[in-house]
Amino acid sequence: MRTLDTSEPRTRNAVSIRREAHGLRGVPVIGHLIDLARDPLGFLSDCAREYGDVVALRLGTWPTLLISDPELIEAVLVKDHRSFVKNSFFWRQVTAVFGSGLLTSEGEFWQRQRRLAAPAFAGKRLATYGDVMVHHTQLMLDGWRTGVSRDLHADMMGLTLKIAAKTLFGSDVHEDVIEIDQAVNDLADEMASRMARPFVIPDAVPLPEHIRYRRGLRKIEQVIARIVNERRVRNEDAGDLLSMLMLARDEHGHPMSDRQLRDEAITILLAGHETTALALSWAWVLLADHPEVQAGLAGEVSEVLGDRAATVEDLPRLRFAEQVVTEAMRLYPPAWLIGREALHDCEIGGYLVHAGTTIYMSPWVVHRNPRCFEQPEEFRPGRWAGGLGRQIPRFAYFPFGGGPRICIGNRFAMMEAVLILATMVQRFRIERQKDRPVIPLPSITLRPKTGVWVVPATRN
């Protein structure tokens, strides 16, 4: 039971909470860290439900606010974005992996890198990726057998990795997929433990997880280096993201350093492939649990495509497929928590925010708010049919974040998810393997803890 902490001074409207059960008052240094580590989704949802749109949490020594009101989220991410940077505690834990790539850099440097990368994710260039997406999905499905159970999440991870490598870096990674997959998992696990820990254990301490983490990082760096070297040898402008980055020159005419290329490539590869795989895996969990929705989707795909392969031109008519992806990301947003840190004292919606305060905004929490969505726990893709997206506040639904730091790959991801989903449902009906429940694991991303085990059946 959590109660309002009236023993604390209340500045302006600021609300503080503490947990009284289990003697948590006896661990003031840790504050709510244990609650957050034990059940992050439940804890943050309870906080918002019980204490409202702005809740002060005690996470170790870090002053933290959980903000769940769409207008206030818009203030942080858009209107007052200059007052905030990406949460530095969080990002410090992952800088060894992402370096100064797009996800983690700030200021003018970030702006320049974003400008360079943006054309690869827009317009005509984006449209050229469609065939690769469908082709790789078909290759994957060729290996599926009716009645033979499989981990669909592992399939989605392998598929989106191959697609990202091919479309953005012009490279095939078939032989490396299993190892990269393992490496990404090891990195994500270690980054998540570091985030949850209120203290830092130096990398040099030879813990098994540190060894796995270093091995994972080395593997990914090797693959990236190979891709960059292949391109240097061929010395051609392939018109993809890697070429754009390699051909870019700064104001002094200098190309990007190998280190910066590595940072950007690793960022795009990691930020892009797991999140999209997750959107698809969660969509399939929901579709398997709602056979009538899956049948509706198959009906649309059959009407639009018949037996032929999907193309980018079909996207405007695959409306229900898009609604399925949108609704799946409402219930299971792959990026379930977004963080910022206040650069200086400021005010958000009348609340005083001190410099250094961490702001948490959780799509998981907001997307399930009954104020924003009717029967929010229900999977109803059709709710998006009548232009719901335009009727709700802009930040009632924000799976890709928003403002200047909005996901650069959001259109790429939507296009990829819809094309993959349509290609899959065209060939297979998918049921869950009953004895293998799916357990959400809110790590850096929202993952299915032990995969998504399904039994496919060929459609006649």
Told to check if 456 binds ligand HEM by CB under 6 A, we report: no
Judged by CB, which is closer to ligand HEM: 144, or 412? 412
Which residues, in sequence order, are CB contacts of 254 under 8 Å at separation 6+? none
Return the amino acid letter for 420. Answer: I
Q: Give yes or no for residue 448 binding ligand HEM (CB under 6 A).
A: no
Distances (CA, A) of 65 to 58, 77, 359: 9, 14, 5
Q: How far is the CB of 272 from ligand HEM (least distance, A)?
A: 3
> b/e for 356-366, b at 16 or more Cβ within 10 A?
ebbbbbbbbbb
103 near ligand HEM (CB under 6 A): yes
Distances (CA, A) of 68 to 117, 283, 372: 31, 24, 11
The reply to whether 335 sits near ligand HEM by the rule CB under 6 A is yes
Q: Which stretch binds ligand HEM (CB under 6 A): 207-215, 271-279, 316-324, 419-427?
A: 271-279
Residue 368 CB, nearest approach to ligand HEM (Å): 16
**x/- letters, 144..183, toward ligand HEM (CB under 6 A):** --------------------x-------------------
Q: Which of 184, 271, 365, 430 binds ligand HEM (CB under 6 A)?
A: 271
Q: Which is nearer to ligand HEM, 2 or 362 (CB)?
A: 362
The minimum distance between CB 420 and ligand HEM, in angstroms, equals 11
Interaction between residue 420 and ligand HEM (CB under 6 A): no
Please provide the distance, in angstroms rounded to a whole number, between the alpha carbons at the two ends of the chain. 53
Q: What is the dihedral of CA 303, 307, 311, 317, to 10 degrees?
A: 0
Q: Which of 400, 418, 453, 456 binds ligand HEM (CB under 6 A)?
A: 400
- Closest CB to ligand HEM among 100 and 185? 100
Binding test (CB under 6 A) with ligand HEM, winner from 129, 282, 412, 428: 412
The 10 Å Cβ neighbour count of residue 229 is 11
Helices and strands (H, E) in the chain, number of each type? 17, 14
Output DSSP code: residue 241. Answer: H
Angstrom distance (rounded) from CA 215 to CA 208: 11
Looking at 338, 359, 365, 420, which residue binds ligand HEM (CB under 6 A)? 338
Indicate the residue among 54 and 444 with the shorter CB distance to ligand HEM: 444
Distances (CA, A) of 329 to 53, 164, 308, 332, 416: 21, 20, 28, 5, 14
Stretch that binds ligand HEM, among 54-62, 225-233, 274-282, 288-296 (CB under 6 A): 274-282
How many other C-beta atoms can be found within 10 angstroms of the C-beta atom of residue 328? 26
Q: Which is nearer to ligand HEM, 51 or 91 (CB)?
A: 91
| Tokens describing residue 233 | 């040898």
Q: How far is the CB of 57 from ligand HEM (least distance, A)?
A: 18
Q: What is the CA radius of gyration of the chain?
A: 22
Q: Which residues are CB-neighbours of 375 under 8 A, at least 6 positions away? A: none
In contact, 94 and 217? CB cutoff 8 Å: no
Residue 130 is a binding residue for ligand HEM (CB under 6 A): no
Which residue spans within 69-147 are E strands per DSSP? 84-86
By the rule CB under 6 A, 399 interacts with ligand HEM: yes
Q: Toward ligand HEM, which CB reaches closer, 119 or 401?
A: 401
**What is the x/- site pattern for ligand HEM, positions 59-98, by CB under 6 A?**
---------------------------x------------
275 touches ligand HEM (CB under 6 A): yes
- Residue 383 C-beta: closest distance to ligand HEM, Å: 19
Contacting residue, 170, 334, 448, 451, with ligand HEM by CB under 6 A: 334
One character per residue 184-203, x = contact with ligand HEM (rule: CB under 6 A): --------------------
Stretch that binds ligand HEM, among 132-140, 214-222, 331-339, 451-459 (CB under 6 A): 331-339
Output the six-digit token pair for 442.
Answer: 């809110």
Least Å from the CB of residue 297 to ligand HEM: 18
**Complete DSSP assignment for 346-415:** EEETTEEE-TT-EEEE-HHHHHT-TTTSSSTTS--GGGGTTSHHHHS-GGGS-TT--GGGS-TTHHHHHH
- Helix ranges (H only) for 235-368 are 241-247, 258-289, 291-305, 319-331, 363-367
Binding residues for ligand HEM, how many (CB under 6 A)? Answer: 24
Place of tokens 């056979």: 291
Q: How far is the CB of 191 from ligand HEM (least distance, A)?
A: 14
Is position 413 an interface residue for ligand HEM (rule: CB under 6 A)? yes
Instruction: Provide the binding-site residues for ligand HEM, judged by CB under 6 A.
Output: 86, 102-103, 114, 164, 267-268, 271-272, 275-276, 279, 334-335, 338, 399-401, 405, 407-409, 412-413
